[in-house]
């Protein structure tokens, strides 16, 4: 037989209204009472009816995860992080993939907020970096948190989680430089992602700091895909004066570059070092395993969701939370021959 709110109230020795106040995270409930109700919920394995809960009151308990990203590992990590925070706070998760380049994206997402009665949105790049969309959400007084690439509070309006991609790119490039590499190439991700710009800026800073020349031919435009890494590496390996190391904008690109290099008979890392970014499963599934930059996407998403749920719109002028990715040295980087 299904456990009801009446069973929980009876077990805890409180009223049905008190159980409802605890499950709705309402203020002014004594901690002793919260503990008793939560103990009853756990003992009886009570599952509140979220649909009824949303219809019964004015407060929504649904968080929307909005994304446009071809990287399945990134999406899964984000989803799991958001889901963890939602479960801890009694919220449900609605997942909405979309096309960030669509001309109707603003209308699509504002309609979603209205029709689904969302408590808030977790926005990931490139949607979190689109000023048109942010303005449309502001105009309807929507709650949202942004996950964006950046290193400082400038431009980080509202609830924001920053990922300091520039620092990570500086560190991974300096790792190659310290090994003795001077001819270092860069394969970029999609240009409409701020992370691409931040990672290239970090790469550029490290090269200039070491007084190493930036060869235009070594800068390859690409996108965040395995195929882009294959194409970029083929282009670089066909050069007469080819690089001794490649910085790839993410692990998927790096895995593609490694694949192309091995097909060409190039020894990794003896003849060519390849490093990635994000520390996704791609970095551990290649042979050799990729040196990369660790970016804790699941924790980033969890923190963003906690910020969104715990802070209402009038409290959103908070200092941004900042994550600083750091290198993870594995087998794909070594001293140049």
Q: What is the tens place of the pLDDT at every residue in 168-219?
A: 999 999 999 999 999 999 999 998 889 999 999 999 999 999 999 999 999 9
Share of the chain residues as helix, strand and coil, in percent rounded to the nearest 5 = 45, 15, 40
For residue 55, tell me if it sits in a domain.
Answer: no
Query: Band of the pLDDT at 54, cuts 50, 70, 90?
Result: very low
Specify the pLDDT at position 52.
45
Specify the pLDDT at position 19.
79
As a whole number of angstroms, the distance between CA 92 and CA 114 comes to 16
Same domain, 213 and 149: no
Matching residue, tokens 């942004």: 146
Specify the pLDDT at position 24.
67
For residue 335, tell me if it sits in a domain.
Answer: no
As a whole number of angstroms, the distance between CA 40 and CA 92 comes to 21
Same domain, 242 and 272: yes
Q: How far is CA 292 from the centre of its chain?
A: 16
Same domain, 177 and 287: yes
Q: What is the tens place of the pLDDT at every residue in 147-174?
A: 999 876 555 567 899 999 999 999 999 9
With contact defined as beta carbons under 8 Å apart, do 190 and 224 qualify? yes
With contact defined as beta carbons under 8 Å apart, do 19 and 13 qualify? no
pTM here is 0.78
For residue 116, tell me if it sits in a domain.
Answer: yes
Round the average pLDDT of the chain to a whole number and report it. 88
Same domain, 75 and 138: yes
Same domain, 227 and 237: yes
Same domain, 301 and 238: no
With contact defined as beta carbons under 8 Å apart, do 95 and 81 qualify? no
For residue 110, tell me if it sits in a domain.
Answer: yes
Same domain, 82 and 114: yes
Specify the pLDDT at position 239.
96
Angle between helices 105-116 and 131-139 (to 10 degrees): 30
Same domain, 185 and 158: no
Candidates 151, 145, 156, 149; CA nearest to 82 is 145
What average pLDDT does range 131-144 have in this prediction? 88
For residue 336, tell me if it sits in a domain.
Answer: no
Classify residue 61 by burial, with Cβ atoms within 10 Å: 0-12, 13-18, 19+. Answer: buried
Same domain, 290 and 169: yes
- Beta-sheet pairing, 184-187 with 245-248: parallel
Specify the pLDDT at position 172.
98
Residue 165: CB atoms within 10 Å:
30
Structural domain total, the chain:
3
Same domain, 201 and 129: no
Query: Domain with 181 in it: what CATH number?
Result: 3.40.50.2300
For residue 262, tell me if it sits in a domain.
Answer: yes
Task: Residue 206: give the domain boundaries.
Answer: 165-294
Query: Domain with 22 in it: what CATH number?
Result: 1.10.260.40
State percent of the chain over pLDDT 70: 90
């Amino acid at each position: 037989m299904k456990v009801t709110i009446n069973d929980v109230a009876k077990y805890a020795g409180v009223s049905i209204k008190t159980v409802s106040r605890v499950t709705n995270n309402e203020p002014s409930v004594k901690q002793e009472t919260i503990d008793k109700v939560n103990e009853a919920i756990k003992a009886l394995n009570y599952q509140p009816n979220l649909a009824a809960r949303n219809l019964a009151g004015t407060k929504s308990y649904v968080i929307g995860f909005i994304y446009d990203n071809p990287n399945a590992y990134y999406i899964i990590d984000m989803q799991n992080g958001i889901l963890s925070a939602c479960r801890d706070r009694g919220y449900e998760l609605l997942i909405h993939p979309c096309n960030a380049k669509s001309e109707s994206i603003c209308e699509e997402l504002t309609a979603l907020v209205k029709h689904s009665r969302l408590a808030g949105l977790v926005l990931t790049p490139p949607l979190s970096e689109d000023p048109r969309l942010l303005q449309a959400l502001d105009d309807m007084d929507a709650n949202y948190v942004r996950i964006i690439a950046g290193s400082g509070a400038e431009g980080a309006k509202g609830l924001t989680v920053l990922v300091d991609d520039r620092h990570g790119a500086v560190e991974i490039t300096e790792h190659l430089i310290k090994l003795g590499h001077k001819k270092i190439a860069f394969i970029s991700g999609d240009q409409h992602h701020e992370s691409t710009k931040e990672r290239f800026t970090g790469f550029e800073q490290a090269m200039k700091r070491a007084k190493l020349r930036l060869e235009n031919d070594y800068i390859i435009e690409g996108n965040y895909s395995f195929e882009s890494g294959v194409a970029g590496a083929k282009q670089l390996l066909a050069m007469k004066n080819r690089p001794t190391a490649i910085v790839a904008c993410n692990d998927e690109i790096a895995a593609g570059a490694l694949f192309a290099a091995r097909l060409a008979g190039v020894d990794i890392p003896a003849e060519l070092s390849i490093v990635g970014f994000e520390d996704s499963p791609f970095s551990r599934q290649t042979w050799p395993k990729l040196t990369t930059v660790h970016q804790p996407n699941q924790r980033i998403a969890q923190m963003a969701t906690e910020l969104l749920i715990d802070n209402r719109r009038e409290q959103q002028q908070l200092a941004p939370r900042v994550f600083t990715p750091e290198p993870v040295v594995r087998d794909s980087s070594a001293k140049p021959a």
